[in-house]
Structure 1
Amino acid sequence: MNAISWNCIGLGNPRTVRALWDMVKSHKPNILFLMETLSYKERIKHLCGKMGFDNHWTVECVGRSGGIALFWKSNVKCIVCNQGINFIDVQITNVNEVKWRLTGFYGFPERARKREVWGLLKMLAGVSDLPWVVVGDFNDMVNISDKKGNYAHPQSFLDGFKRTIEECGLIELEWREKYFHAYATSRKKQNQVGYLKDESGAMINKHEEMCELVKGYFSRIFGGTERLEMNSLDEQEAVITEEHNRDLIAEFKIEEFSEAIKQMHPDKSAGPDGLNPAFYQHFWGLCGKDVFQCCKNWLVDLAFPLGLNDTNVVLIPKKDNTDEMKDLRPIALCNVLYKVISKVLANRLKEILPVAQAIPSYAMSCFLLPKSLCIDLERMMNSYFWGSQEDIKKGIRWTSWTNMSMSKEQGGLAFHDLHGLWQAKESQKQGYRWVVGDGRSINLGADKWLRGKEGHRVDEQCLSLVRNLKVCDLFVSGTKEWDVTKVHNLFSSSDARFILAIPIPNNQFQDRIVWNYSLDGKYSAKSGYRFWQQHYSQCK
């Protein structure tokens, strides 16, 4: 039987969960004891299944500290006998029916409570005569050589804990600190990105050049240069009442920012300023008024200070020996104050959730809302629709929000996927094509212009011949007719048929962009959203 105990110092950090997963995957323990989980039962229950365990027992955290949990697999016959805020005591029966005790123990870190820890151990030692194994962290020591740091450890504490161990009949089996330090060091080296290859395959290993490569890569993915015609906002029907609007634009209060800070997990990774939510939560009494006044001024003046929305991008390798950007998964770490402002705005919108689904789709597709804000809004709407009248946060989620946002033809309720609404705007890049006019603006190889062909682009094998040509270069000189011979010489027979089937207007109309998924060729948020939904469901 294999057992592991670990002081995880909070399970809210994705890196901690990843390290725990790697540890479980590597050592395949039958029993796992976690200390300082800083989590509640729902989180522990989810983690139990994710880690491949069948059973668990949880002692929830108190406020922002503590919390312990014991996981075990179905092949372990385990009975929970006792528990406390810092211990879980179980009886285990081996396959040969031999019974023994296992206690997961986490000692109080405060020096003033050392004797309380010793007394608790002595009490546990006396409740049974079964063989006894204690795992965990006593937050104590028997040898001064185990001490690290500058503060001396009183000899009386060393002697007291040593006597307690002896009276309980316990002996120290193994000291695991070196193992976990080596494990963390190995993990860090494994995740280190020493170099990256650019588009040409050249190796880049200088930090500044790698940063520019990363920046350029994501700029190309999330940026855009196309300018597309938009409808007027004046045509959109108002759905927010004057009362709603007064609430939304009311003067900000310090209580709104205090509540937003409290709603954030304390151990979320810090952004460029190096401060996590726990800092603001702990020192809110000292800095709260200054934070409120600054954020309020920024919102009223409609201007963020330089650096507020700066973001650290952490690249997580998807596989071993990563050397290309496509094999790295980005995690964006924003400054806490930037996230606080988003949460304050989301909380205000919470009051108008019954009409949130009626927010004009066009407005949502025009203005790029932060993904975190869309997620917060959808969580609120999810709670609103599934929660009970007594407590909106509780209730059974009979289906996922993703299913609810599907069209009724697909079995959904046609609720708006808020993040999908602005992603629909991005889908224009996939859904538009050029209509031939004078042929001077359309690049034969780079643009989408073949009417009737899926993808609307010419075959790749033709690109080298037409890369720098425009559509007008395919006209008979001085006319608005296709040069049939040239078309057949430059393109495949299939592409030639598509090209020659395109009518050329006799007037001097310029080339224009049309939306390929509406009858009039004009983009609308409704048609864009439907296109995005269909594409999303196909990807699923």
Structure 2
Amino acid sequence: MNIIAWNIRGIGGAGKSGAVKKLINSNNPSILGLVETKHSSSKPRRWNSWWRADDLGWEEVLAVNGSGGLILMWNQTLFKVLSSTKGDRWINIEGRWTNGDFPVSITLVYAPNDREGRIRIWQQLKILKQSSNSPMMIMEDFNEILCPSERKGCSRLQASAEDFQEWVSDMCLIDLPLLGRKFTWYRNNSASKLDRIFVEAEWVSRFPEMKLWGLNRSISNHCPLLLECSKVNRGPKPFRSLDMWFSNPNFVKMVEKEWKSFAAMPLQRKLNALKASLKKWNKESFGNFDRKIEQLERELNLIDNISDSALLDECTLARRNALTNQLWLWPKRKESYWFQHSRSRTIKEKDRDTRYFHILASVRKSRKTIGMLRVGGNAIREPRMIKQEITKFYKKLYSEEQPPCLKISGEGFARINEEDSKELESLPSLEEIKKSVWDCESSRAPGYNGFNFGFVKRMWDVVGDDFFRFINNFFQQGKLLNEVNRTWVTLIPKIDGACELKHFRPISMVGCIYKVIAKILSNRLKKVLPNLIGETQSTFIGERQILDGALIANEVVNWCKKKKKEAVLLKLDFQKAYDTIS
């Protein structure tokens, strides 16, 4: 299911019809919205020639004196319109897709250029929302930005932008992230993000794979917007330990039993074996939340119906109480699940809301998914090809070159004394290992093995001895199993609309065992590094500030200028210092 919206800047010019036809043929939309048509009369024959649909529906607002104008078209074999409403700057249709039962309200907007005109439109759309029971989508040219980064060279927002922010907040709208480009409108050296699509939360719940693309510009200074709502198969989901498991009274005993059955295995192999058991147990004990809640509600309702006409025996009363308790427990489990997936760190316990966390998790998933890559000028959207290009790029990036080997004399460098050396190499105690575990945040994203530190801490009485033996063995032998040294790499976009691999920052997600070892070494090194690294090094050392280096450099330059001293200022920049092996 695709939706296209575009400020076409007039449909009567040369090449405009061809551009619209190409857009439709390339993307096969269910719904197409065009604004600033500048047409004062209806052209139904032209609309039909564009689409080639057997059953085309449309609503339009004609331009006044060659200004404005909107047209909203849909394929009636794919989308059934139940009602429509129009204003001088917007069109609204309510209906549903023919292959589903999801009622929607879709509004096409072309906001005026003046602040007063936009405020008038915002008020009209507020009233429109109040009269509709269907989740809204509002799309196209709003002639305003939400933050300074959405306008090239902008440093502060004007009052009209604050009006826009307030309206979006009052309407409880979600601004879908734009992929493929940063701005949607261009003129000479000016650029802004004026075109966008807002949705209510229900859209994100229904279509968690939604992607909003800024397509290539052609005959307009606005780029077309393409919203894809189809589901994409991206392969099997990785294992994740879930906090809600601890709400089951049998969980800890089950883990203890399974852990003892793996007694002959090393720690990492035990964790891998435990994953298979937990996957099966989770499916049997939890399954589908909504289905389980509906089942409990049906059974409780059946008992309530019996109690309407007869007295309940003790067994049935006990069952009803048990069902009531379960109906309190299962929504809490569902809330815990979505809270963990949302990665929210700003919500207080009293503010918890399952629907909010569900939406937060869906938006987060949408933002982090790479739906398109641009490689050599070509756009790649097929998941298999995207994976291949990412693998090829990072294989090359992470290949170690053999640069000329320079020998540096150790003379003149600070040295670790014998006492510090022994402490660095000593075997860690159980208390030191446990402290390192508890220093790690419980809810942080796990590594490739799927176990977060919340699981490790709560199961410490079961797994603690194995952690102690494994880590001590590492300090004795200095070797790690390949499974422990394995790392997942996740790509974080450096800029909005990132679509090239150079615009992503790779973040390594190591497993919990590796992280504990690194934490122990880090805590030990913190004690000796200040004595080894000169005072001029202002970064990566506790209690030193990164800005001190810039301040000192500024003072030195001022001193040289004041004293008229000759000096050389040398700046070294290691390109992609954190993204390569050196």
TM range (shorter): 0.3 to 0.5
TM-score calculated relative to the size of structure 1: 0.37
